[in-house]
Every structure is written in structure tokens, then in C-alpha cells.
């Protein structure tokens, strides 16, 4: 007996909405395009009424007995559903805690870049956790990491508040900051405006486009931070090899 091949796309598909000839039950409860209840009709009769109005017969509640269908413009219906989903996504997008990694050896240029990244995260409403990782004998100079974090906070004090002051956890120093209340309120208002713009269907020139642009900028910054972290890890590997060679010599 042959095994049926697993198709991962099948799990990604949500419930399929049946329309017109795909509705194969003998009768349906029909709602007119004006919201009027037309009662239970043979499916072919309901479909005929939809076609006479240049519209579609769409199954909106398949679990009812009989299934409930509505006469409407299916193209517009799909557009409205997508718009509602985007609006909900914008309004309910969760704020996150972004992590920015440092090393005691992080130079001034990288420190400034990571400070700007933190500023962008805060302006998007996210918290920021700085972690300074110590390697080898670096652990004997925690004041270097403290100085770095002090420098960062001096540049972010207008937009950030400290939630957890610098603390040591094994070989890592951590600082957690959050957007100031006024800034967080501003971010929430911007999201609400973007959702409202969707409801009004104002298009790409609206707050929705601005929100999308901000999201793309944050994604770009996160990618740059990830690349910088990879470079740091490569440097660590090189240092480790050098130390190993020195000990073996």
C-alpha cells in the first residue's frame, strides 16, 4: 500500500470559504445583499438570485443546519476581510524586549550604532536589554562595561527609563530599559491612527504606510545587529585560537 506524500502546505491552509457552485448542499439559509433574511431556499434557487444581481453566493456559516449563505460581492468581501486582519494586527501588535549585545572591547563606532538602534527600538515602543559579555580576563574589569552602559544611558535619557539597573549574572552584565510613558503613549496613538486609516481606506499615503515603513526600518536594524554579533563571535574564535597557540608554544 503506497503512502500518501505529506504536503506541508496543507497545514498552512485555513478553512476554505465555499462560493457559488462549490456550495453543494441541497438547501441553504440565505441573507440578501441588503441584510434581509430570505429564509431557507434550494441552493440552485439561491445561486440564481445571486447571479441575477451580478453577485456571488457565499457560505458564511457552514456549521449551521442548513448552512448560512449571503449574497454579496466576493471580491469586495475578501478585500474587507484582509483589511480587518491588517487593522487587528496593527492594533494588537505586541511590544517586545529587544536584546543588544556588547563586549568590553566594543569600539566607539559600534557603541554609537548600537545606541542608535536602541533609540529606534524605544521609539517603536519596545524595551531594550543590553548584555555585556565578558571573556577570559575581561571579567576583572567590570568598570569598563559599567562605563559603556553609563555612556549609552546618557544618550537615551530623554526617551528611556531604567527598569533594571546594571547587574552581574555570571560572566554577563545586564541593563534593562523601557520607553518613557509619554513616548509609549505616542506609539500607541500612532498605531491607533494607522488602524483608523485602514478603516477609512486612505491608501499608501496614510498612517498605515508610515507604520509599515517603521516596521521595515526596525527589521533592517535587527539584521544589522545580528551581523555585528556574528562579527563579534568570529573575533572571539580568533582570540581563542590565538590563546590556545600561545599556551601550546
The CATH number for 46's domain is: 3.10.20.80
123 lies in the same domain as 181: yes
Question: What is the CA angle 195-197-198, rounded to 5?
Answer: 65
128 lies in the same domain as 201: yes
Round to whole Å and give the CA distance between 152 and 175.
Answer: 11
Count of domains forming the chain: 2
Starting at the edge strand that comes first in sequence, how are the strands of the sheet with 172-179 ordered?
A: 97-102, 127-133, 172-179, 160-169
Instruction: Please give the pLDDT value at position 247.
Output: 47
10-residue mean pLDDT series, the chain (249 residues) = 45 68 94 92 95 94 93 88 71 77 90 94 92 88 90 94 90 92 85 71 59 80 82 59 48
Select from 57, 73, 89 the last residue of a domain.
73
Question: What is the CA angle 102-115-221, rounded to 5?
Answer: 90
Select from 73, 106, 139 the last residue of a domain.
73
Q: E-assigned strands of 51-197?
A: 56-61, 68-72, 97-102, 127-133, 160-169, 172-179
Instruction: Please give the pLDDT value at position 169.
Output: 84
Round to whole Å and give the CA distance between 104 and 174.
Answer: 13
**Quick check: is 81 in a domain?**
no
Instruction: Please give the pLDDT value at position 199.
Output: 65
Domain that holds residue 68: 16-73
194 lies in the same domain as 117: yes
Amino acid at each position: 500500500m503506497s503512502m500518501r506524500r505529506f504536503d506541508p502546505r496543507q497545514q498552512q491552509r485555513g478553512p476554505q470559504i465555499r462560493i457559488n457552485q462549490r456550495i453543494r448542499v441541497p438547501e441553504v439559509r440565505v441573507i440578501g445583499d441588503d441584510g434581509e433574511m430570505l429564509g431557507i431556499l434550494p441552493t440552485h434557487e439561491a445561486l440564481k438570485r445571486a447571479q441575477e444581481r451580478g453577485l456571488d453566493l457565499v457560505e458564511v456559516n457552514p456549521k449551521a443546519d442548513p448552512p448560512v449563505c449571503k449574497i454579496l460581492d466576493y471580491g469586495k468581501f475578501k478585500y474587507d476581510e484582509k483589511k480587518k486582519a491588517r487593522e487587528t494586527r496593527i492594533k494588537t501588535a505586541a511590544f517586545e524586549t529587544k536584546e543588544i549585545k556588547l563586549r568590553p572591547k566594543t569600539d566607539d563606532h559600534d557603541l554609537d550604532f548600537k545606541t542608535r538602534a536602541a533609540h529606534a527600538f524605544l521609539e517603536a515602543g519596545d524595551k531594550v536589554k543590553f548584555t555585556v559579555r565578558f571573556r577570559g580576563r575581561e571579567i576583572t574589569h567590570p568598570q569598563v562595561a559599567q562605563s559603556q552602559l553609563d555612556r549609552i544611558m546618557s544618550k537615551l535619557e530623554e526617551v528611556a527609563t531604567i527598569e533594571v539597573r546594571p547587574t552581574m549574572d555570571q560572566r554577563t552584565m545586564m541593563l534593562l530599559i523601557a520607553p518613557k510613558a509619554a513616548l509609549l503613549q505616542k506609539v500607541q496613538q500612532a498605531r491607533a491612527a494607522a488602524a483608523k486609516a485602514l478603516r477609512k481606506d486612505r491608501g499608501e499615503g496614510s498612517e498605515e504606510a508610515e507604520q509599515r515603513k517603521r516596521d521595515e526600518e526596525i527589521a533592517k536594524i535587527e539584521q544589522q545587529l545580528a551581523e555585528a554579533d556574528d562579527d563579534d563571535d568570529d573575533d572571539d574564535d580568533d582570540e581563542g585560537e590565538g590563546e590556545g597557540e600561545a599556551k601550546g608554544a
